Amino acid sequence: MTAETDPAVPAAARGPVTDEELLVAGTPVARYVLDPDLDVRHGPRPYLHPVRTLAGTPVTDVLPADHVWHLGASLAVQDVAGTNLWGGRTYVRGTGYTWRNDHGRIVHTGWAHRAADRLDHQLHWCDPTGRVLLAERRVLTASAVPGHGGAWRLEVSSTLTAPADRDIVLGSPATNGRPGGAGYGGFFWRAVAAEPPEVFTARLSGEEQVNGCAEPWVAMRARAPEGGAYTLVFGGLGDSDRWFVRTAMYPGVCVAFAFEQTLTIPAGTSRHGHYRVVVADGQLDRDLAAALAGH
């Protein structure tokens, strides 16, 4: 282990943190921003943006005017043992959304492996004082989809470990009292679209049906403002996870960790997640989306 990969070594001693690129067969498909220079109220955290199709169509948005704290594709939760790691106002039961001094950061602490198609590193989920709430090991990989030259696959593997002496409870606006299926928080993808996108599963269609479901996969198809159609096929729900989906207010899909009930990571234990997104050029039909989800 080197100073660069040892999470016990202070970040300043490891040298500057730079953005990384993920490539598929030599084609850049995503930039991984490790140390964004953001106001703490925006929930600073590593994120992927821009993510593009193989033909170059952008499929993520960052710092959008409607929700400035939406950062491409990232892992974030609004309530982590009382700390807001999502950004924006915090939903308070009986009061509603409120600006509070409760924002933390998710910080990169060291590399285990770096390659053009695989990034493996450690992170700390920290409260406003810098105390570590969760330690994370995260691996991102990018690969071609066999038999489909217009698509590639992003996989994000995440292991969240609670401190040895403390349970960590994850919550959402929904678990804190907000009605309307606002159970967001987890692996979140803020898409970009010229008009409201279509969202569907193998048997459901539209935001009202898909939001809160536990279907094996969810697809979103849209046209980017710059031109070019795309389809995203998401998979990777855990046993207690649900899909959080928005199309009318903004385009977004989330593997939600606490959609209706809080989730506790007991002291000294870990929660594992493996999220998959197929990024395809064109507007795919349900059968093809299901086939890509099966890959």
Count of domains forming the chain: 1
- What digits encode the pLDDT tens for the residues 27-67? 999 999 999 999 999 999 999 999 999 999 999 999 999 99
Is residue 4 a part of any domain in this protein?
Answer: no
Domain extent at residue 230 = 11-294
More confident residue, 2 or 19: 19
Label residue 203 by pLDDT band (50, 70, 90). Answer: very high
In this prediction, residues 217-229 reach a mean pLDDT of: 95
Is residue 103 a part of any domain in this protein?
Answer: yes
pLDDT score, position 15: 54
- What digits encode the pLDDT tens for the residues 84-125? 999 999 999 999 999 999 999 999 999 999 999 999 999 999
- Tell whether omega for the bond before 50 is within 30 degrees of 0, i.e. cis: yes
Residue that the structure tokens 């159609």 belong to: 229
Beta carbons of 72 and 53 less than 8 angstroms apart: no
Going by C-alpha positions, the residue among 103, 67, 68, 101 that lies closest to residue 84 is: 103
Label residue 4 by pLDDT band (50, 70, 90). Answer: very low
In this prediction, residues 261-270 reach a mean pLDDT of: 98
In this prediction, residues 3-27 reach a mean pLDDT of: 66
Is residue 6 a part of any domain in this protein?
Answer: no
Is residue 125 a part of any domain in this protein?
Answer: yes
Residue that the structure tokens 């395809």 belong to: 280
Is residue 5 a part of any domain in this protein?
Answer: no
Domain containing residue 123: CATH number: 2.70.98
